[in-house]
Amino acid sequence: MRTLSAAVEDYLKAIYEVQLENDSAPASTSALADKLGVARASVTGMLKKLAATEPTLVEYRPYYGVGLTAAGQKIALEVIRHHRLIEAYLTDALGFSWDEVHLEADQLEHVISEELESRIADYLGHPSVDPHGHPIPSKEGSFASAAEAPLTSLEVGEGGYVSRVSDRDSEALRYLAQLGLKLNAAVEVTEKAPFDGPIHVRIVKQDEVHALSRRLTDEIFVAPEKRETGRSGAKR
Amino acid sequence: MRTLSAAVEDYLKAIYEVQLENDSAPASTSALADKLGVARASVTGMLKKLAATEPTLVEYRPYYGVGLTAAGQKIALEVIRHHRLIEAYLTDALGFSWDEVHLEADQLEHVISEELESRIADYLGHPSVDPHGHPIPSKEGSFASAAEAPLTSLEVGEGGYVSRVSDRDSEALRYLAQLGLKLNAAVEVTEKAPFDGPIHVRIVKQDEVHALSRRLTDEIFVAPEKRETGRSGAKR
DNA sequence: GCGCAGAGTTAGACAGACCTAATTTTCGAG
DNA sequence: CTCGAAAATTAGGTCTGTCTAACTCTGCGC
């Protein structure tokens, strides 16, 4: 079972993520092709191979979609755990900023040993979230979940603490950091332009209001409580 | 030029190491096959491909051997720098022992970004050697070299400080660590059995004498002076 | 309930890196 | 100077993971 290729690990991770975005519905070939940056035909080919090899990691029904088996999900969560621990480690131990760690982690996640994973987790004090607020699955595959909602969904006057930010776009992350909009920052919606216009957000600490596009506010999540990251005092 | 495959990087590194062991003579197909753990035919194939692609990284003469061009050597040294910095980092920052880091570094060396390399080097204070005493090439490719000789070559009564140990065999490294025979440990040859028999070595600190096989003493190097590692106080 | 757009799959190729088996080259011993 | 063993290369295959192009489902609009 061991030593899956980086490609296979990436597919399992992608299936997991696509399913998560769609209430566990089967992942479509196109969604996976998009996420992985490969042609649709490549996805079909890989899914056929994955479904055909022991132990079965995915359940694949042609033309319908693909889902993870328990074994497949276990591996996907291991990879995600690696990814997020590495992101946390690079920021906490080596001073990377939150916009620099994603690509690095995408490479490293397939390569670190269980021993290294474990040492990193120990060093960090077993954090529950990565630098963008994504929960880090435990070794057993369980998550700390949070009551959070996208900034877009808040009404004027509502607010909370930034609990999660998408890590896909480093540009955006750099911009947000520069505004002071970081994890656990207190924010409040002061104005919502009509017709899906920009949302004006007050960042409490700096007491500044910024207009953010929907594209941005869709990917910023806010919770009513500050989050216990489990890694604030990690500096060892 | 960028993004060479891990396989290509491994070949360049292997050619460099083989040449180093043979006074810069061209590396033979067999030596490379041994070092890389692949069949001879695979080496021939890869050398042909390497020699045929721009920019030229190797100079290959069929039936004769292969050497690195300046460009090829530069890359080999980058990979070796990665490898040794990673070994140093894992021991200093994450508490790995010197017998655990080699395999981990073999994987990581192909994957870390220049940025991560640079942060690691900064953290460590730009060390000149790895945990086994192998010199770490600088970014520009220069080495700190030491006046050292294999333990095997010392006469009875001679001694010095352990300056370098092969990192190939973790079993052996664990054994040596257990004896207290670590980097910069003071040692002295007390007896040499005839016919290439074991060498008796006194480890000064513990004041214990151990009989070491030639296989071991060939791979332990001793220098007349303690070595400035450039990383003793790295703990940050 | 039919047809068509778009999603999905099959077919066929290719590049990278490896293998085994067969052949060729090199070189030292006699 | 010739012969054979060891070293190296060629020949031909396999396995991954990708691609493009061509075909085939599926389900929505009417």
- B123 neighbourhood in chain A, CB within 8 Å: 94
Q: Which of B13, B93, B116, B124 is nearest to A107 (CA)?
A: B116
pLDDT digits (tens, 9 = 90+) for B86-111: 999 999 999 999 999 999 999 999 99
**Which residue would you say has higher pLDDT here, B199 or A226?**
B199
Helix (H), strand (E), coil (C) string for chain B:
CCCCCHHHHHHHHHHHHHHHHCCCCCECHHHHHHHHCCCHHHHHHHHHHHHHCCCCCEEEECCCEEEECHHHHHHHHHHHHHHHHHHHHHHHHHCCCCCCHHHHHHHHCCCCCHHHHHHHHHHHCCCCECCCCCECCCCCCCCCCCCCEEHHHCCCCCEEEEEEECCCCHHHHHHHHHHCCCCCCEEEEEEECCCCCCEEEEECCCCEEEEECHHHHCCEEEECCCCCCCCCCCCC
Question: Are the Cβ atoms of B108 and A111 closer than 8 angstroms?
Answer: yes
Q: Is the pLDDT of residue A232 over 50?
A: no
Distance A19 CA to D23 C1' (A): 29
Confidence band, pLDDT 50/70/90 cuts, at residue B231: low
CB neighbours (10 Å) of residue B41? 10
Interface test mutation site (partner A, options B94, B101, B112, max chain A beta carbons within 10 A): B94
pLDDT digits (tens, 9 = 90+) for A93-129: 999 999 999 999 999 999 999 999 999 999 999 999 9
pTM > 0.75: yes
Q: Which of A94, A103, A116 sits opposite B119 (nearest CB)?
A: A94
Confidence band, pLDDT 50/70/90 cuts, at residue B232: very low
Question: Are the Cβ atoms of A116 and B123 closer than 8 angstroms?
Answer: no
Confidence band, pLDDT 50/70/90 cuts, at residue B55: confident
- A121 touching B (Cβ < 8 Å): no
**Which residue would you say has higher pLDDT here, A51 or B233?**
A51
Interface test mutation site (partner A, options B9, B111, B115, max chain A beta carbons within 10 A): B111
Cα nearest neighbour of B118 on chain A: A94
pLDDT at position B144:
81
Nucleotide nearest to B63 (CA to C1'): D8
Q: Is the pLDDT of residue B236 over 50?
A: no
